[in-house]
Amino acid sequence: MITHENGVFLLQNPAISLLLRVSPRGLLEQLHFGGSVTLADARAMTSLVGPGWGCGILLEESDSESCPDVRPLAWSGSGRGDYRESPLELAGQSTDLRYAGFRIFDGIAPMESGLPQATGPAETLEIIMEQEGLGLKLYFTLFDTAITRRCVLENTGNSSVTIQKIMSMVMDLPGNYEMTTFDGGWIAEMRKHTLPVQDSRVVNESVTGFSSNRHNPGFLLSEIGATEDAGRVYGFNLVYTGNHYGAAQRSLQGLTRVVQGISPSNFAWELQPGGRFETPEAVMTWSDEGFGGMSRNMHTFVNQHIVPEYWRYHLRPVLYNDWEGCMFDFNQRILLNLAKKAKDLGCELFVLDDGWFGQRNDDKAGLGDYSVNKKKLPSGLKGLADRIRAMGMEFGLWFEPESVNMDSDLYRKHPDWALTDEFAPIQGRHQLLLDLTKPEVRDYIVENVSSILDTAGITYVKWDMNRHSVALGAKAHDYILGLYDVLGRIFKPRPQVLLESCSSGGNRFDLGMLCFGPQIWCSDDTDPIERLTIQGSLSYLYPQSTFGAHVSAAPHAQTLRTTPLTTRGNVSFFGCLGYELDLNHLLPVEEKEIQAQTALYKQYRRCFQFGTFYRLENGWQVTDGDITMACIFSGCRPAAPGYDYLRLKGLKKGKTYHFRSRPQTLRLGQFGSLVKHVAPVNLNPNGIILRTADKHLTLPDGEHTGTATGGALAAGIPMLPAFRGSGYDKQQRTQLDFGSSLYIIEG
Ligand code: DGJ
């Protein structure tokens, strides 16, 4: 609900509230953002507003409250006495926008520039600010677990102005905070870093042209001492795929100024008289249930308001992707053989990745061309897709439409379509970007991708993009608007096509891309131990339904680490499950394990994909109604293991739950000469008997079932003892390094 009373605005629902006040000088103040407050609370809070101290410049000499530098503000100018970070900078001029009116309405304020935004039930407050020659509309939209903010700047004067910086939101929060950001690079996305916010600015920014794997646009502010389950934590994110900027800095008065928007680095946008500029939408949430509570608010928001309507809570298929198994080296026979195997293992969708078109036999050629490589696929895409559908699987396809290789027919015909600056072209992965600011380039992509989707009956698209940009500032923003235009024109008329975006893995894991397709490829690093970090960090800001999570081969291509197949499965369960490895190399015991994995995942898919997510001390938990799935990840095994506990969250204390561990198996071969500990007879570890037995036979491991109250499960119940040189016992966890135990708990 949004209410207005004497220049005070309260946005409030049971989860969150925001309190704004128009000051006597027309500044927009933010008196509260956080837990739910009522109108009566708001009245009391408003009456307690004092003048602030440490005033420098007064907007009105006689009014001690008119010092912009010390007020808690929800908007501010530049060059007019607020010396904290400004949300708006115009070349060569100050800005001093003051309150001029408001509107409250149901729903959202639709974007006019093509930027994506949150949709669904909501209520919006529009605050109108003005100064001579400029109008500003600030939009505050109240959703169930988050509030979004954005603004529109209008040139109401007679001469053009240049926007050098315009943030989507600015706010001042009382208190001391730490800022958590998620940084990294290719195959090392989402490293979590936390810094104290003090008097120097802490910045989270990307200037690669995209939201980037270097610094995810989402960041957190937590009060000092906040934990996973307690303490006040704010979450911020941006519905945008381009360069972004977020920053926090504490003032002498103890207010933390927070801003978020498009990166101002090299940004310069010419706004002609009558022109308007829309910022992307910033998302803000809050919880006093620690990082976990904040994450769950973000998850609900993304699942309900960001991903395309068709895919909201729509179950995702188990897929097989041929990339890590084949790379560029395949033909129709190889693919059909893999498809048959994938189907037998329980996959529902077959995805053909890179290499199906033009002269694309490695990553040096062919990007930009859409003609199917008939040498590899003599019956074309439709022929292949039809055969795969006849096996009972859907067919999906990889595209990288934004890029071009210089060795391609497209580049030879239209070298001017590549995105360049005044210097010689610079390549990334042997490719250039296409200039999506050009309508003819966008039309080329839309026509080609659409016609392939329609003729081959494709129901899934992996939309890849494998380099950073060269475009700066305004051009980078124009590119992103071009990208959104292309995505909208292809996928809005085809809502049932499942779009998974990808950018060298997680180089564009952002809410902008999620508005067009409900899932994103998290990383080219599919080693499950690395994925614990990557998916674990993503879980702060994004729900598990958005994670493309695949089981791949061990030893792993990026780390050379060997991990149990069960753990590879268990990690991928907490996302949209897929398999990406050469299925011809699987042993019979591995095939059986994968069949069991896909069967279990399908049975509990709703819980895995859309259940309420909890980060546990040593694992992850999802709960959907009476069903809970929890996985404990063991890491490196110590020689003398201590007690491990299954400690769950969010269950009903007095209720009784049955729990059971997912049947796990042990391969005989993994014990080498110690096989005598686990097998009834003493076998030569290098002999044919053990080598053959290893392919076909397994031993049950870690069988644990029982009944416990929610209270006991919250306090923690002891797990089965771990192997400690203790021989074989199926009621112990005889796990190797990086083992894991998945529990199914039913109320
Ligand atoms: C990068 C992606 O992240 C991979 O999954 C794969 O699709 C390759 N591109 C293909 O070139």
How many A from CA of 580 to the centre of ligand 1?
11
Atom of ligand 1 nearest to the CA of 580: 5
Average confidence (pLDDT) over 718-742: 91
d(CA 471, CA 473): 7
The confidence band for 51, taking pLDDT boundaries of 50, 70 and 90, is low
SS3 381: helix
For tokens 């990307």, what's the residue?
Answer: 206
Residue nearest atom 9 of ligand 1, based on CA coordinates? 504
> Over pLDDT 90: what percentage of the chain?
88
Atom of ligand 1 nearest to the CA of 398: 7
Q: Which residues contact 215 (CB under 8 A, 6 or more apart)?
A: 181, 182, 183, 204, 205, 206, 244
How many A from CA of 326 to the centre of ligand 1?
12
How many A from CA of 475 to the centre of ligand 1?
26
Atom of ligand 1 nearest to the CA of 363: 11
**Is pLDDT of 678 > 70?**
no
Catalytic residue among 183, 322, 464, 527: 464
**Is pLDDT of 149 > 80?**
yes
**Would you state the pLDDT for residue 62?**
86
CB atoms closer than 10 angstroms to residue 502: 26
Average confidence (pLDDT) over 282-297: 98
How many A from CA of 463 to the centre of ligand 1?
9
Residue nearest atom 10 of ligand 1, based on CA coordinates? 354
Structure tokens at 636: 């490196």
Average confidence (pLDDT) over 491-497: 98
The confidence band for 394, taking pLDDT boundaries of 50, 70 and 90, is very high
Q: Which of 361, 398, 430 to mutate to test the pocket of ligand 1 (most atoms within 8 A of CB)?
A: 398
Q: Which of 327, 354, 400 to mutate to test the pocket of ligand 1 (most atoms within 8 A of CB)?
A: 354
Average confidence (pLDDT) over 310-337: 98
Nearest to 402 by CA among 305, 503, 301: 503
Nearest to 206 by CA among 537, 548, 509, 544: 509
**Would you state the pLDDT for residue 669?**
85
Average confidence (pLDDT) over 341-366: 97
Residues 378, 379, 383: CA angle, nearest 5 degrees: 150
* 685-709 confidence digits (pLDDT tens): 888 988 898 899 898 999 999 999 9
**Is pLDDT of 56 > 90?**
no
Catalytic residue among 369, 510, 524, 525: 524
Atom of ligand 1 nearest to the CA of 504: 3
d(CA 438, CA 419): 10
Structure tokens at 316: 């995702």
Clarify whether 524 is annotated catalytic: yes
Q: Which of 213, 323, 519 to mutate to test the pocket of ligand 1 (most atoms within 8 A of CB)?
A: 323
> What pTM value is reported for the model?
0.97
Residue nearest atom 1 of ligand 1, based on CA coordinates? 504
Q: How many residues does the chain have?
A: 747
d(CA 587, CA 696): 8
Nearest to 288 by CA among 611, 16, 13, 619: 16
How many A from CA of 579 to the centre of ligand 1?
14
d(CA 233, CA 251): 19
Structure tokens at 408: 């391609």
**Is pLDDT of 597 > 90?**
yes
Average confidence (pLDDT) over 367-388: 97
Nearest to 518 by CA among 541, 488, 497: 497
Cross-strand partners of 219: 236
* 81-131 confidence digits (pLDDT tens): 999 999 999 999 999 999 999 999 999 999 999 999 999 999 999 999 999
How many A from CA of 180 to the centre of ligand 1?
29
Atom of ligand 1 nearest to the CA of 503: 3
> Which one-letter amino acid corresponds to residue 380?
G
SS3 728: coil
> Over pLDDT 70: what percentage of the chain?
99
How many A from CA of 331 to the centre of ligand 1?
18
* 503-514 confidence digits (pLDDT tens): 999 999 999 999
Q: What is the β-pairing status of strands 498-501 and 460-463?
A: parallel
Q: Which of 403, 521, 552 to mutate to test the pocket of ligand 1 (most atoms within 8 A of CB)?
A: 521
DSSP 315: P
* 435-479 confidence digits (pLDDT tens): 999 999 999 999 999 999 999 999 999 999 999 998 777 899 999
**Would you state the pLDDT for residue 230?**
98
Q: What is the β-pairing status of strands 627-635 and 739-746?
A: antiparallel
616, 623 contact by CB (below 8 A): no
d(CA 232, CA 222): 6
How many A from CA of 354 to the centre of ligand 1?
7
> Which one-letter amino acid corresponds to residue 85?
E
Atom of ligand 1 nearest to the CA of 521: 3
Pocket of ligand 1 (CB under 6 A): 323, 353-354, 398, 464, 466, 502, 504-505, 521, 524
Residue nearest atom 2 of ligand 1, based on CA coordinates? 504
Atom of ligand 1 nearest to the CA of 505: 3
Residue nearest atom 11 of ligand 1, based on CA coordinates? 354
How many A from CA of 525 to the centre of ligand 1?
11
Q: What are the start-end ranges of the H helices in 546-687?
A: 565-573, 588-603, 605-610, 675-678
**Would you state the pLDDT for residue 682?**
76
